[in-house]
Amino acid sequence: MPADADSTFPEGESLGGYDAVFLSGSPLSLYEDTPEVRRSLAFMNALFSSGTPSFGSCAGLQMATVAAGGTVRQNRNGPEAGFARRIVPTDAGRSHPLLKGRPVAYDAPSIHTDEVETLPDGATLLALNRSTVVQAAEIRHDGGTFWGVQYHPEIGLDEVTGALRRQADDLVESGLARTRREVEEQADLVEAIHREPDRRDLAWRLGLDDQVTDEGNRRIEIVNFIEALVIPTRNARRGG
């Protein structure tokens, strides 16, 4: 991990030699001045300057934001837990290849306690919802391009279940549930639809559609990133 003090590249390799870099969730709060945060931001700045395209979810988006000069804060509306609801592309997002195939509003797996407050110069807001200021963005900085989302297209519904159970006390404290049992009951429903994604009764009880229950739809941003940035970059570097 970039935050680890002893993290190094394999001998003879560098960021510029990779087709792409993917950054996902992290327990770090990017507004804290800690050695781990400083190392992560140094890595992100090196990634931007390398020109290697990068994609990030959750803390990955926040890391790119702060490295490029934006700001991150604690969620002003409390945790967004389980699923981000009614994400809406901006005018720029509706025509951006990152969100190709997404409808005019959609849900996605999400669990985070921090959010992007302000995007840096050179960034484009691509999607938002009523809970979170920035749900998707493109950041161009120091010769590099980053596409990111606050939600988690990379995880399965079983991982949503695990996150809810791990953070049950925090969800009760924030008012999203009255008791741990309520969190467990919600997690049980999510776990059940993970096992049987075609069950309409479970989708109805959870208020979900195939943007979440269908694995291909959940991961659409990752596929779009690979098709739009990774494959062309790789082919250009290899003379293809």
**Tens digits of residue pLDDT in 44-65:** 999 999 999 999 999 999 999 9
Model confidence at 238, pLDDT cuts 50, 70, 90, reads confident
Q: What is the mean pLDDT of residues 100-124?
A: 96
User: What's at 119, amino acid-wise?
Assistant: L
Q: Is the pLDDT of residue 220 over 90?
A: yes
User: Could you confirm whether 112 is annotated as catalytic?
Assistant: no
Q: Is the pLDDT of residue 3 over 60?
A: no
Catalytic choice (80, 115, 154, 221): 154
Closest CA relative to residue 163, chosen from 222, 109, 108, 212: 109
DSSP of 132-196: -S-SEEEEEETTEEEEEESS-TT--HHHHHHHHHHTHHHHHHTTS-SSHHHHHHHHHHHHHHHH-
What residues does CATH 3.40.50.880 cover in the chain? 20-154+219-237
CA distances, 126 to each of 36, 149, 198 (Å): 29, 9, 30
Q: Exactly one of 58, 80, 112, 141 is catalytic; which is it?
A: 58
Check whether 93 has a pLDDT greater than 70: yes
3 state SS of 22? strand
> How far is the C-alpha of 238 from the C-alpha of 179, rounded, in Å?
56
Res 11: pLDDT: 64
For the chain, how long is the longest CA-to-CA vector?
59
Q: Tell me, yes or no, if 96 is annotated catalytic.
A: no
CA dihedral 132→133→136→138, nearest 10 degrees, is -160
Domain 20-154+219-237: give its CATH code.
Answer: 3.40.50.880
Is 221 one of the catalytic residues? no
* d(C-alpha 237, C-alpha 34), whole Å: 36
Check 96, 112, 141, 152 and give the catalytic one: 152
Roughly how many angstroms between the first and final C-alpha of the chain, as a whole number? 31
Percent of the chain with pLDDT over 70: 94
